[in-house]
Structure 1
Amino acid sequence: MALAKISGENRRIKSILFLICCALAGIFPHLMAPSKNLFPSITLAVLLGGYGLRVVLRDRRDNYQLQNEYLIKEEKFVETLPKVDVLVAARDEENVIERLVSRLLSIEYPEEKISLWIIDDGSQDRTPDLLKKLRTSFSRINVLSRPLMSGGGKSGALNSVLNKTDGEWLFILDADAQLQSNVLLRAIALALHGGWSAVQLRKSVVNCELNQIASYQAMEMAMDAVIQRGRLASGGVSELRGNGQLINRKVLECCGGFNEQTITDDLDLSFRFLLTRSPIVIMWDPPIQEEAVESLSALFRQRKRWAEGGLQRFFDYWPLLISNRLSKFKKIDLSCFFLLQYVLPVVSLIDLIVSIILFETPLYWPLSIVAFGISSLAFWKGCSQNSEGPRLPSPNFINILGATIYLAHWFIVIPFIVVKMSLFRKTLIWEKTDHIGS
């Protein structure tokens, strides 16, 4: 099965089968004798909890960092730098587009080896006018405009500029990205000296002091980096996160470019890199800074897209994921991740519904407690580490408890998306996150 030919067929049928399997798993323990009905949950709690604990403990502060920071200042290193294309897909970004251009122009890299591209993807606000004005003032900025509803979402926007660029590496940013001026040099050095096919910068929140929702998102991003680095250190899988990703063009071309049949280009591309044995590394410092969404409604809109895109890739690529393309441990790692992030929320909801109907106690609470416990440990570890970006929230008891409770929103979002994908056909629309300009 060629990666470029995977188009996401029969996702609705696959989602229905997934929902049925989760329903059976949620109902089954209630059919067992009371003395044995906790056995499935306790068994999974031990196995998946042991996996999660191993992952969190394997993360180290000095993992996957450039050991010799002075390297990027050496003349010989600068002379041999590869050409890089910086790409930003933007739609309706009038609040941040001027700041974005300022950030792009401040990137430290030889001018003859870097090109800066902004793809205006059918903006209907003042973004096109602002870009035209900025382009006049700053000739280094290249602008490509796409008509409204050109199709393909962010992937389509990025694909549209590939034939106009020739860099050996692509640095993908979101329009609200804020970054240190030397971040590209450090990411390139890590990629070249570590033999990585892609570098994903740790994501951090620039407006984490706005409210508790933003603060918990900052903690969640630190937790995610800890878990990803721990999975990688354990021989497992790490993933791209869209904003702040440095990727090798040749590998991207081998993967068939960006997939226009998905709503989360980064998650889909992560699997394509995985299946072509192209390793991705997570770089802790310096991070890529972005805005957190500021309200619960915006949070749920964002997370529904992430959840749907995350499930889509498992439905699309599962025949290849269980093939001999992956090592045994990577299959185990993916299985544990899939069970904890996607299966557990749906099974827990089914378990709760059955318990209410039968006037019984829910039976998957041991697994849920272990999952939240591992998350709390990852919160503490992530927020305890130094950060060159915005200061992370204090890893005190109140913050960790609040962030752990905050994670429960996935137990609403995931089941909702599974039901939605099972009942309705998906129209692929790039539902962007609004950027305020924090």
Structure 2
Amino acid sequence: MLVTITRVINWSILFAFIACFSYQIVYLIAPYIKKEKTHKPLQMHRYAVLIAARNEENVLGGLLDSIRAQNYPSELVDIYVVADNCTDTTAEIAYAHGAYVYERFNRVQIGKGYALKYLLDQISLSDNLEDYDGFFIFDADNLLDENYIKEMNMTFNDGYDAVTSYRNSKNFGDNWISHGYGLWFLHEAQFLNRGRMRIGNSCMVSGTGYMISRELIEKNDGWNFFLLTEDIEFTADCIANGVTIGYCERAEFYDEQPTRLSVSWHQRMRWVKGYFQVYKKYGRQLLSKVGKKGGFSCFDMLMSNLPAFILTMIATFAGLTLTILALLTAQDFTSALLCVGKFTVNTSAAMLVLGIYTTLTEWKHIHMAWYRKIGYMFTFPIYMLTYIPIAFMAMFKKVEWKPIAHGSRVTKTPIRTIAS
């Protein structure tokens, strides 16, 4: 009896996954059947780069150098840094690199969202907001490809109020954790956002490496996104209000990923908690627009991430419950356990296929030895499976924003040389 129930639950969850995510096949196919649109006549826009940094003296200089080295007129790019609750030399490094620097000390309103609001408010109070057509947002540990701003400018010039970009990792091959992050971000960029862009759907911002028009900043009265995942909150707000986010696949930047499981665990627990917060705030509004103009983007936003977490947790909880019942009632424990194990095996297999596909399609962008690329494909499912306990904890535990220490001092040497 319990075996039958377990099989029914497994099949029900499988069909639920198919119902929630089969539409993403469209994103897989679209780039191969639909060509990129031709860019509009080029216009050189003026930009401000916004960087919220907390004790980032190890990495900030590298980002600032990569901004100064852009193949884009330097007189059209200004850099603003908010040294947020810093106790190191972050502010001094920013000054030395020619950035406009604001120091913020607030132990109550903690997080990147509050730091960005403060920085934009200061720019507005200085009557400098109207000097810029758009605002880039980066984390202090990022590095930019030399053509990043030039490529983003062409996409922005096509009329988008927000544009995201190709997120790569500068420490891709440090270990299985940093590789797991890096491969997932490449999947988001080229499997999801590229397909969304080709069919005219709104793309989604992922943490850093994006830009916003001044008009959208003014419409929103500055920056007002303060949840644990302010990037997802911003994305949901755009989609719910009919703003289409563009994607520039040729604008590549590099991000530093955690390498310690404890740090990664807390960061991803914050992400999952943030997803819950975003769905609570925007879920009803997004759902009400499904089936209307822009409804496919709303549906996509609703299906992104959270349903997978919920279905996985339901499957895990149901499996454990049925296994315990089998033990207590002396029923066929082995068969029940095998049915539960099938879910884990099937999930791992799906993640392995995703990892292999992403690795092969983005092979040239993953800067490490070929045999390590192949080896780490088989650790990717392990990285993804760790989301199961993380999601459980996020549901019941209070989660707060915590800074992540960055240690990579990569500065001027080409990232392709360092990463290989």
- Aligning the two structures, in what range does the TM-score lie when normalised by the shorter sequence? 0.7 to 0.9
Change (3 A) 1:61 1:178: farther
Matches within 5 A, 1:40-59: 40-48=12-20, 50-59=22-31
Q: Residue 176 of structure 2 is aligned with which of 201, 207, 212? A: 212
What is aligned with 1:178?
A: 143
Change (3 A) 1:260 1:235: closer
Decide whether the 8 Å contact of 1:227 with 1:378 is kept in 2.
Answer: no
Counterparts of 1:206 and 1:37 in 2: how far apart (Å)? 41
Change (3 A) 1:38 1:349: closer
Counterparts of 1:402 and 1:51 in 2: how far apart (Å)? 27
What is aligned with 1:245?
A: 210
Counterparts of 1:354 and 1:84 in 2: how far apart (Å)? 55
Counterparts of 2:166 and 2:302 in 1: how far apart (Å)? 24
Counterparts of 1:370 and 1:257 in 2: how far apart (Å)? 45
2:317 aligned partner, one-letter code: I
Counterparts of 2:242 and 2:91 in 1: how far apart (Å)? 39
Q: After TM superposition, give the deviation of residue 283 of structure 1 in Å.
A: 2.6
Counterparts of 1:435 and 1:185 in 2: how far apart (Å)? 27
Corresponding residue SS for 2:172: coil
What is aligned with 1:330?
A: 297
What is aligned with 1:130?
A: 93
Decide whether the 8 Å contact of 1:159 with 1:258 is kept in 2.
Answer: yes
Q: Are positions 1:379 and 2:355 aligned together?
A: yes
Change (3 A) 1:178 1:39: closer
Corresponding residue SS for 1:196: coil
Q: Residue 119 of structure 1 is aligned with which of 58, 82, 95? A: 82
Q: Are positions 1:433 and 2:400 aligned together?
A: no
Counterparts of 1:392 and 1:53 in 2: how far apart (Å)? 29
Corresponding residue SS for 1:259: coil
What is aligned with 1:345?
A: 312
Q: Residue 254 of structure 1 is aligned with which of 216, 219, 228? A: 219
Decide whether the 8 Å contact of 2:68 with 2:74 is kept in 1.
Answer: no
Counterparts of 2:395 and 2:245 in 1: how far apart (Å)? 28
Decide whether the 8 Å contact of 2:52 with 2:116 is kept in 1.
Answer: yes
Q: CA RMSD in A?
A: 3.2
1:201 aligned partner, one-letter code: S
Q: Residue 260 of structure 2 is aligned with which of 295, 319, 337? A: 295
Counterparts of 2:210 and 2:166 in 1: how far apart (Å)? 9
Describe the superposition over 1:33-70 as per-residue Cα deviations: whole angstroms up to 9, x where unpaired.
67855442242244345334444344559865x857xx
Q: Residue 224 of structure 1 is aligned with which of 188, 191, 194? A: 188
Decide whether the 8 Å contact of 2:228 with 2:270 is kept in 1.
Answer: yes
Q: Are positions 1:412 and 2:376 aligned together?
A: no
Q: After TM superposition, give the deviation of residue 292 of structure 1 in Å.
A: 1.5
Describe the superposition over 1:204-263 as per-residue Cα deviations: whole angstroms up to 9, x where unpaired.
111123223222322222122213333554665531112210111212332343335312
Larger deviation: 359-368 or 271-280? 359-368
Q: After TM superposition, give the deviation of residue 100 of structure 1 in Å.
A: 2.5
Describe the superposition over 1:157-197 as per-residue Cα deviations: whole angstroms up to 9, x where unpaired.
1112224142120111110111122211111101212x322
Counterparts of 1:355 and 1:313 in 2: how far apart (Å)? 32
Corresponding residue SS for 2:265: helix
Equivalences, count: 389
Counterparts of 1:42 and 1:239 in 2: how far apart (Å)? 26
Q: After TM superposition, give the deviation of residue 156 of structure 1 in Å.
A: 1.6
What is aligned with 2:378?
A: 401
Decide whether the 8 Å contact of 1:97 with 1:127 is kept in 2.
Answer: yes
Change (3 A) 1:398 1:340: farther
What is aligned with 1:15?
A: none
Q: Are positions 1:355 and 2:318 aligned together?
A: no
1:268 aligned partner, one-letter code: E
1:309 aligned partner, one-letter code: G
Counterparts of 1:336 and 1:117 in 2: how far apart (Å)? 35
Corresponding residue SS for 1:172: strand
Counterparts of 2:172 and 2:285 in 1: how far apart (Å)? 39
Counterparts of 1:266 and 1:103 in 2: how far apart (Å)? 23
Q: After TM superposition, give the deviation of residue 380 of structure 1 in Å.
A: 2.8
Could you state the TM-score of these two structures normalised by the residue count of structure 2?
0.81
Counterparts of 1:289 and 1:381 in 2: how far apart (Å)? 21
Could you state the TM-score of these two structures normalised by the residue count of structure 1?
0.78
Decide whether the 8 Å contact of 1:219 with 1:382 is kept in 2.
Answer: yes
Identity of aligned residues (%): 19
Decide whether the 8 Å contact of 2:169 with 2:182 is kept in 1.
Answer: yes
Decide whether the 8 Å contact of 1:219 with 1:379 is kept in 2.
Answer: yes
Change (3 A) 1:143 1:242: same
Counterparts of 2:33 and 2:53 in 1: how far apart (Å)? 34
Decide whether the 8 Å contact of 1:203 with 1:221 is kept in 2.
Answer: yes
Counterparts of 2:110 and 2:5 in 1: how far apart (Å)? 51
Q: Which has the higher contact order (CA 8 A, sep 6+)?
A: 1
Matches within 5 A, 1:57-206: 57-60=29-32, 77=42, 80-132=43-95, 134=96, 138=97, 140-149=98-107, 151-163=109-121, 164=123, 165-166=128-129, 167-193=132-158, 195-206=159-170
Change (3 A) 1:266 1:315: same
Q: After TM superposition, give the deviation of residue 124 of structure 1 in Å.
A: 1.2
Describe the superposition over 1:321-378 as per-residue Cα deviations: whole angstroms up to 9, x where unpaired.
1223764433443443355432123212311321232126266777766655554343
Decide whether the 8 Å contact of 2:94 with 2:100 is kept in 1.
Answer: no
Change (3 A) 1:113 1:380: same
Larger deviation: 55-64 or 267-276? 55-64
Q: After TM superposition, give the deviation of residue 150 of structure 1 in Å.
A: 5.9
1:381 aligned partner, one-letter code: Y
